[in-house]
Amino acid sequence: MTLKQRESLAEVLHGRRAVLARRLHEQRERVASGRHDLGDPVDLALEEIERGTDELLMELERRELHRLVEAERLLVEGRLGVCRRCGADIDPRRLAVRPESALCVDCAAELEQTKNLH
């Protein structure tokens, strides 16, 4: 990976992490402020569903945030863009789309296949 590619990847990662962190923060506040006595069972049920969706979303975003932080760490260590499984260089075009990709296209496809067999 060239220095320029690394710099632009670092920017992409940082930008996405900032957006995610802000969204998580907002959701956490919304969930916290939603805990008031509504009284009405329908409102209560609706709120329950909404909160469940929020928490699921937060969980997914927390995981993505974790992947981004991990990718940033690898980038700093100069290990981002190297397949975690076979050590091959990961296509920079793939990294541009999914900077947190830890596997090259071949390994990702192979793993996907094994997963589908089970």
Which residues contact Zn ion by CB under 5 A? 83, 85-86, 88, 104, 107
Q: Closer to Zn ion at the Cβ: 65 or 102? A: 102
Q: Closer to Zn ion at the Cβ: 26 or 89? A: 89
Shortest reach from residue 105's CB to Zn ion, in Å: 8
Q: Contact 51/64 with Cβ under 8 angstroms? A: no
Q: Closer to Zn ion at the Cβ: 59 or 89? A: 89
Shortest reach from residue 110's CB to Zn ion, in Å: 8
Of the candidates 77, 65, 84, 58, the residue with the CA atom closest to the CA atom of residue 13: 65
Q: Contact 65/24 with Cβ under 8 angstroms? A: yes
CA dihedral 47, 50, 52, 58 (to 10 degrees): -130
Shortest reach from residue 59's CB to Zn ion, in Å: 28
Shortest reach from residue 84's CB to Zn ion, in Å: 8
**What is the C-alpha radius of gyration for the chain, rounded to an integer number of angstroms?**
19
Q: Closer to Zn ion at the Cβ: 65 or 104? A: 104
Number of H-type helices and E-type strands within the chain: 4, 0
